[in-house]
Copies of this chain bind each other. A is one copy, B any other.
Amino acid sequence: MKVDVFKIAQSGPDDLSGLAALVQQGTLDPKTIVAILGKTEGNGCVNDFTRGFAVATLKGYLRGLMGDELLNQVVFVMSGGTEGVLSPHMTVFTRQSEGLVEPTQTGLALGICHTRDFSTDEIGTLTMVEVVAEGVERAIAAAGLTAEAVHFVQIKCPLITAARYTQAAITQDSYKSMAYSRGASALGVALALGEVQRGDLTAADICHNYRLYSSVASTSAGVELQNCEILVLGNAPQSHSRYRIGHSVMAHALDIAAVNRAIHSAGGVGKGGQIVNVFAKAEADPSGQLLGHRHTMLDDSDINHTRMARAVVGAAIAAVVQDPMIYVSGGSEHQGPAGGGPIAVIVV
C-alpha cells in the first residue's frame, strides 16, 4: 500500500481551487482519494453549516472525477472551528495498491470504515460504543495493521438536533449531545484497541468516568451525518509510503512537551524531514482549573468552551511548530485524559 498526504489551504468552505490545481497538474489522482479531513471556519458546534457546505462542495466536484461508487467510500471528516490562529484547510489522504515499484519501508498505512446509521436513541449509548468498536476493528484490518501500530483513529459522528429531541435517550440539549456522541465513539476506539475492556465499561461511564480513554482517538460530531465514518492511521512495516506517523498524549492544554514527543515518535524533523500536519484534540479542563489556576471557559455563556479550547491548544501547538495550518478539533471526551488529548504528527 502507498499512502500520500496532501495539505491544502482553503479560502472558504467551498474553495476547491487548491485541490483542483493538484488534480489538474496530475499530482493527485482523484480516484485514489480515501479520506479528507478538513478544518472549516464555522463555530464547530450545532449550527455549523460550514462542515456540510464543504462536504457538499467536495462531493459535487469529485462525483464527476471518481464516480458514485468510489465516492461513496470516501471518508469525509470536516471539523468545524478555526478559532484563533488555526487556518482553514483540508488534508487529503490517497491510497494506491497497484503498480507500486518503490522499495518498501516502515511507513504510513490507513484503513476506513462506515458504520450503519444510528437512531437518535442510540447516540451516546453503549450500543454506539460497540458498533464503533467493531467498525474500528474492520478499519484496522483493512489497513493491514495491528492494534499496536495504530497512531490515530479519526471518527466523524452524528449529533441530536432540537428537531429530534423527543427520541433522544441521553440528552435534550443539542450542544451536549455532541459531547455524548464524541465520548461514545472514543470509547469505541478504546475498546477496539484494548485500552478499555468491555467488562469495565457501563453506560454510566460515558461522559462521566474520564479515567477511561483512548490515547489515539479523535472524534468530531456534526449535524451532516447519521452514521460514523472511521479513519485509522498507523505505520506498517512494509509500506510504499514516504510518510510516517507518530503520536503522544497532551496531559493538559499547555503540554507542549507532548508536541515534541509526538514529532519524535514520528521520526523527527530536520535532516530532510518535515512536518506535514499535526492532529490534536482540545478541551477546557473539566475541573475548571489548569496548572493549579482557575480558567473561565466553562462558566462563559457567551462563547462555548470548545471554541476557546481549540483556540488555546491550536495556539500552543502552532507556536511550537510555527505553523498555524494544523488540525485541532474540540471536545476530547474519553480522548486522552480529562483536560488533555491525543496528538498525532505526520512527517515526510
Residues of A bordering B, CB below 8 Å:
9, 11-14, 41-43, 45-50, 52-53, 56-57, 60, 82-88, 161-163, 165, 172-176, 223, 253-254, 256, 286, 288, 290-291, 293-304, 307-308, 311-316, 318-320, 322-325
A43 touches B87 (CB 8 A): no
**8 tightest A-B contacts by CB?**
A45-B301, A162-B288, A87-B293, A315-B315, A53-B53, A162-B298, A84-B312, A311-B311
Contact B293 A323 (CB under 8 A): yes
**Most chain-B CB neighbours within 10 Å: which of A53, A85, A253, A300?**
A85
A318 CB, nearest partner CB in chain B, Å: 6
Contact A11 B307 (CB under 8 A): no
Residues on B with C-beta less than 8 A from A311 are: 83-84, 308, 311-312, 315
CB of A259, distance to nearest CB on chain B (Å): 9
Pairwise interchain contact A11-B294, C-beta atoms closer than 8 A:
yes
9 contacts between A and B (CB under 8 A): A12-B49, A13-B53, A48-B301, A52-B53, A84-B295, A85-B312, A301-B304, A315-B316, A316-B319
| CB nearest neighbor in B for A288 | B162
| Residues of B close to A325: CB separation below 8 A | 293
Among candidates B41, B174, B298, B322, residue contacting A254 with C-beta atoms closer than 8 Å? B322
Determine the chain B residues whose CB is within 8 A of the CB of A45 once the complex forms.
301-302
Do residues A294 and B14 form an inter-chain contact, with CB atoms below 8 A?
A: no
List residues of chain B with CB within 8 A of the CB of A165: 286, 288
CA of A81 to CA of B209, assembled, Å: 32
Q: Are A322 and B291 in contact (CB under 8 A)?
A: yes
